[in-house]
Chain A
Amino acid sequence: MPFVHKHLLGIQHLTASEILTILDTAESLFEISTREVKKVPILRGKTIINLFFEPSTRTRSSFELAAKRLSADIINFNQQTSSVVKGESLKDTVLNLEAMNPDALIIRHFAAGTPHYISTFCRSHIINAGDGAHEHPTQALLDAFTIRQAKKNFKDLKVVIIGDILHSRVARSNIFCLNKLGAKIILSGPPPLLPLEFKKFGVDIDFNLDRAIKGADVIMMLRIQLERQQKSSFPSLREYRNLYSLTKKRFRRAKKNAIIMHPGPINRGVEISAEMADSAKSVILKQVENGIAVRMAILYILLGGKERDSID
């Protein structure tokens, strides 16, 4: 099924077949990154701007490499060096960048809905690289890609997502994505970070991780945002670690061939023990590798136009 959207603002409004189209495209582009010369001319002449209003190394570099491997020109714009600090409005900043005739803007912003807002007055393609606690669609897509690599099929997979669900855009996008693909999702975390209304997204909730993790195929850890802890959503990191850290002992309750995922950056010894992060079950670095292929796929699908058949 063709991908008909102009922008990638989130997963919520995509269909399962659109998601699979992206994953299939990523698969066919994956090999480019393993070549001696890691570059194809598919997006030659296209200009992309990475517009990041929140610190990020992984996602930004991943998009940058994805664009470069498709021969697009990409520049980075981040908040520290922009005129936003001089009091320019977001709209003015974006319109100024648009005046330079880019083809796509990749937006990371601390406020939910900002990519959507930008898409209302911009003519470029908008790609959401994470907006507040809303969505992080390319993360969910690369996670789905990684799961498919390990598990072949999504049907009836038991996926446990653990941690600060409330503030996590990664959790939301993954819930939307894996739900559409047929996986069974269980959320676990401390109740203040896991409102029961999340059940309406078609997931189960179990605050007790030892129970939630039983028989899991995929264990997805979320980063605990240490900087948020003054808001006292739970008593202490010590309590959090005791109740929700992925340890070897807890992992034994999952399926033998379960995989461990994390969007990074990880807090070693907080949400995940070093031992588990480095174990053979961990696909954390695979996620990073796959991220490039998935982002190449998104850029190709949105910007590639008619050249779509000439991947090789």
Chain B
Amino acid sequence: MTLLIKNGRVIDPASGTDETLDILIDKRKIAVIKPKIEIEAKKIIDASRLVVAPGFIDMHTHLRDPGQENKETIHSGSLAAAKGGFTSIACMPNTLPVNDNRGVTEYIISEAKKSAVVNIFPIAAVSKDQKGEELTDMADLVDAGAVAFSDDGLPVKQSHIMRRALEYSKLLNTLIIDHCEDKSLTQDGVMHEGYYSYLFGLRGMPASSEEIIVARDLILAEKADARIHIAHLSVKGAIDYIREAKKKKVKVTTEVTPHHLLLADSSLESYDTNLKVNPPLRSKDDVEALVKAIKDGIIDVIVTDHAPHTLDEKNVELDNAPFGINGLETAVSLILDKLVYKNIIPLQKFIEMISTTPAIILGLENKGKIKVGVEADLTILNLHKETVVDIEKFKSKSQNNPFHGWKLIGAPVMTIVGGKIVYSE
């Protein structure tokens, strides 16, 4: 089976490529990359006026499978990913049961083989049952296929467990990802603490709760000389700590979500439960600081933190709604419109942050690049295409997304995984 993509603007940050090229795919892999390929291919795609990028990788997704298949399954989540332009997703371990043992990791991998249309990379829990008390069998989990470790949804509660996890991760050359939240400060908060939480009478989650754990993790990672990845960065204070740590060559990387880049705490005036997310939507100052941190190279990756919840779970009082935004199908268009189209960050930079860099951070050697011989995972973008976010058209099983109705310019139009078109407009 051969597939020829013609006349696309090929952008591959890994090799610094940005030119009009043809790409021939043969037997799942990229066979030829050249300005003009004259060959009989089984299928030809005209990519003129389109951008051909290395397949996008979302390193922060929740698939709810096993355990909460009413919200999302590996199959439906993968369809949502493909529609959103992602060829690979890494799924967080807070399933039921928690992915803290070989059995769950193997289930995810085998179920993905059966039913997923994109590559699925499981992230296992740092601690048993995400309790922050005892380490999981990390070597066994790496052997089973875990690409990183996180107690996501929760911080690694105890500092000494975090320390041991970081130290142990070096043996396995794996990565620890932390959701940074001091729960004793956030308690039963539902939004960012500040003027607007006081105005709306909603319980606050202070910025300090994130800053404290980020600072702790940076200290522990530095002492352990281990890699640490800070999940869904949201506050200015934490950015400052990471900036300082990077100067000191601490092995820290970090990520941000589209919703934290585009929405602020004031939007909670509507009490819309689709805006309830953890970390919470922060102040306008924080939003500006996050955008600046991308430009400054402090933030490495853009992730969705895709967190599907059913309509019924979200159609309640704000206090009673679960945290989370369903993000796989809107992330790319949101960033293309709000940051790339508006010239805040260059397109190449965006592609680097959503493909090249996450592949490097997760150690996915043959991902995140357009190169002869690698698996043909490609995301094709139309920078001029206008779309309106419509949750009714989501491939995801859930629809909890606050961007419904937004008009956006720029969209993924075709997703190719291992040489196979898994989504096409």
Q: Chain A interface (Cβ within 8 Å of chain B)?
A: 12, 89-91, 109-114, 116-117, 131-135, 166, 169, 172, 195, 197-198, 200-201, 231
**In chain A, what residue has the closest Cβ to B203?**
A133
| B6 shortest CB reach to chain A, Å | 50
Q: Is A109 within 8 A of B317, CB to CB?
A: yes
Tell me the smallest distance from the CB of B190 to a CB of chain A, in Å. 9
* CB of B202 closer than 8 Å to a CB of A: yes
Q: Indicate whether B320 reaches chain A with its CB closer than 8 angstroms.
A: yes
Is B201 a contact partner of A169 (Cβ separation < 8 A)? yes
Cross-chain contact B271 with A113 (CB below 8 angstroms): yes
B200 lies within 8 A of A134 (CB): yes
Contacts of A111 in B (CB 8 A): 317-320
Q: In the complex, A197 Cα to B271 Cα: how many Å?
A: 20
Residue among A90, A135, A166, A172 making CB contact with B316, cutoff 8 Å: A90
Contact with A along B192-215 (1 / 0, CB 8 A): 001100111111000000000000
* In contact, B316 and A113 (Cβ under 8 angstroms): no
Docked Cα-Cα span, A166 to B193, in Å, equals: 11
Q: Chain B 295-327 against A: per-residue CB contact (8 Å), 1 yes, 0 no?
A: 000000000000000001001111110000000
Whether the Cβ atoms of B271 and A132 lie closer than 8 Å is: no
The CA-CA distance from A166 to B204 in the complex, in Å, is 11
Q: In the complex, A201 Cα to B196 Cα: how many Å?
A: 11
Is B198 a contact partner of A110 (Cβ separation < 8 A)? no
Please determine whether B198 and A90 come into contact, CB atoms closer than 8 angstroms.
no
Which one, B199, B316, B319, contacts A132 given CB within 8 A?
B319
B198 touches A112 (CB 8 A): no
The answer for the CA separation of A166 and B202 in the assembled complex, in Å, is 10
Q: Which of B187, B198, B270, B320 contacts A195 (CB 8 A)?
A: B198
Docked Cα-Cα span, A91 to B317, in Å, equals 9
Contact B318 A113 (CB under 8 A): yes
User: Given A117-B271, A132-B202, A134-B200, is A112 in contact with B319 using a C-beta cutoff of 8 Å?
Assistant: yes
Q: Is the CB of B201 within 8 A of A133?
A: yes
Which of B's residues lie within 8 Å of A, judged by CB? Answer: 187, 194-195, 198-203, 270-271, 312, 315-320
Q: What are 11 contact pairs spanning A and B, CB under 8 A?
A: A90-B317, A90-B320, A91-B315, A109-B317, A110-B319, A112-B319, A113-B317, A169-B201, A172-B201, A195-B198, A198-B198
A133 to B201, CA, bound (A): 4
Complex contact B318–A117 (CB within 8 A): yes
Most B Cβ at <10 Å: residue of A90, A110, A113, A200? A113
Residues from chain A with Cβ under 8 Å of B187 in the complex = 231
Residues on B with C-beta less than 8 A from A91 are 315-316
Q: Flag if A134 contacts B201 (CB, 8 Å).
A: yes
CA distance A201 to B315 in the complex (A): 31
Give min CB distance, B271 to chain A, whole Å.
Answer: 3
Question: A114 is contacted by which of B194, B203, B270, B317 (Cβ under 8 Å)?
Answer: B317
Provide the bound-state CA to CA distance between A135 and B201, in Å: 7
In the bound complex, residues from chain B placing their C-beta under 8 Å from that of A131 are 201
Quick one: which of A90, A116, A117, A195 has the most chain B CB within 10 A?
A117
Residue among A89, A134, A169, A201 making CB contact with B312, cutoff 8 Å:
A89
Q: How far is the CA of A168 from the CA of B195 in the complex (A)?
A: 15
Q: Of all chain A residues, which has the CB nearest B187?
A: A231
Nearest CB in chain B: distance from A138 CB, A: 16
